[in-house]
């Protein structure tokens, strides 16, 4: 099973005006500049439009300041889509509009139920594996329900030791190439994942946690601008894997704990 192959569709959701009230782990030293954040998100959307055949824009919902972080609302596994029960109560209503879109797309839509909570930022897929970060947002009940809902996938919980989500410190460049932050948490979590993958995969480490969150869109990898040491490592690996690299600044979204993966939901071409 290939996760990082061609894509058919991407879902994105623009920044609401209320984005300034988005949840933040730490108050930023310089407050979010909405216009700048909006421009960064628009630039991201433009790149997604260039690289994914079909892009669906779900209208922003002012009642949900974090709704642009659409990744957290669902997990796509082939034709199956599991609609999350988002960890933060203030965000829970974001998922309904996304369920409707997947229903229209003809996906088989499943739902997580209480007491399960899960954010898509805690879900990393590689080959037939789905790794689920146990974090302040995602719990074991979600892992148990995912195992029931997706019996064909190998589902492994990973304990999140640092950051908001599993993908705050790691992501994947390819089905057999993990990318992780070169720190104690990144190394420990990468070791658990490599162990489950059974020696068939390797991990690339970068010095910056934020730079360990990348998005693979076809044969292009989007990386965060502004982290030169990590970028140099990623350039070398991309060349080796025959992938193009595109850098995008997301500094304003980072202030609300956003990263690159969180701004889209990707549907593989089947």
- Give catalytic residue positions: 165, 262
Among 13, 127, 153, 165, binds ligand CIR (CB under 6 A): 165
Question: Can you tell me the distance from the alpha carbon of 50 to that of 140, in angstroms, rounded to the nearest whole number?
Answer: 38
252 forms part of the interface with ligand CIR (CB under 6 A): no
CA nearest to 111, candidates 82, 71, 87 = 82
CA nearest to 172, candidates 266, 40, 78 = 266
Give the E-state strand segments of 102-153 in sequence order: 108-111, 123-126, 129-134
- Residue 135 vs 230, nearer CB to ligand CIR: 135
69 forms part of the interface with ligand CIR (CB under 6 A): yes
How do the residues of the chain divide into helix, strand and coil, expressed in percent and rounded to 5? Answer: 35, 25, 40
Nearest-approach distance from CB 65 to ligand CIR, in angstroms: 8
Residues 211-240 that bind ligand CIR (CB under 6 A): none
Binding mask 38-67 for ligand CIR (x = CB under 6 A): ----------------------------x-
186 forms part of the interface with ligand CIR (CB under 6 A): no
Among 72, 175, 182, 231, binds ligand CIR (CB under 6 A): 72
Q: Are 255 and 28 in contact (CB under 8 A)?
A: yes
Q: Are 146 and 155 in contact (CB under 8 A)?
A: yes
CA torsion 244→250→256→257, rounded to 10°?
Answer: 30
Nearest-approach distance from CB 198 to ligand CIR, in angstroms: 27
Residues 102-121 that bind ligand CIR (CB under 6 A): 119-121
Q: Which residues sit at the interface with ligand CIR, rule CB under 6 A?
A: 22-23, 66, 69, 71-72, 88, 91, 119-121, 165, 256-259, 262
């Amino acid at each position: 099973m290939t996760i990082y192959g061609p894509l058919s569709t991407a879902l994105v959701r623009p920044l609401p005006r209320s984005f300034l009230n988005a949840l933040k782990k730490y108050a930023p030293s310089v407050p979010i500049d909405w216009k700048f954040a909006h421009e960064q998100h628009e630039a991201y959307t433009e790149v997604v439009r260039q690289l994914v055949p079909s892009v669906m824009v779900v209208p922003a919902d002012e009642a949900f300041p974090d709704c642009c972080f659409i990744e957290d609302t669902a997990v796509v596994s082939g034709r199956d889509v599991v609609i999350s029960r988002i960890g933060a109560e203030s965000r829970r209503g974001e998922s309904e509009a996304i369920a409707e879109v997947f229903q229209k797309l003809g996906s088989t839509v499943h739902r997580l139920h209480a007491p399960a909570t899960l954010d898509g930022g805690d879900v990393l897929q590689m080959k037939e594996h789905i790794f689920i970060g146990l974090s302040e947002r995602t719990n074991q009940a979600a892992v148990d329900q995912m195992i029931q809902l997706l019996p064909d996938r190998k589902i492994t919980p990973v304990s999140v030791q640092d950051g908001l989500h599993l993908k705050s410190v790691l992501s994947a460049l390819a089905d057999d190439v993990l990318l992780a932050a070169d720190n104690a948490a990144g190394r420990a979590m990468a070791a658990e994942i490599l162990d489950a993958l059974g020696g068939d995969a390797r991990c690339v480490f970068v010095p910056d946690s934020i730079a360990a969150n990348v998005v693979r869109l076809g044969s292009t990898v989007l990386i965060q601008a502004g982290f030169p040491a990590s970028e140099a490592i990623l350039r070398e690996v991309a060349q080796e894997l025959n992938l193009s690299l595109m850098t995008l600044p997301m500094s304003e979204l980072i202030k609300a704990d956003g990263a690159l993966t969180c701004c889209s939901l990707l549907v593989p071409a089947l």
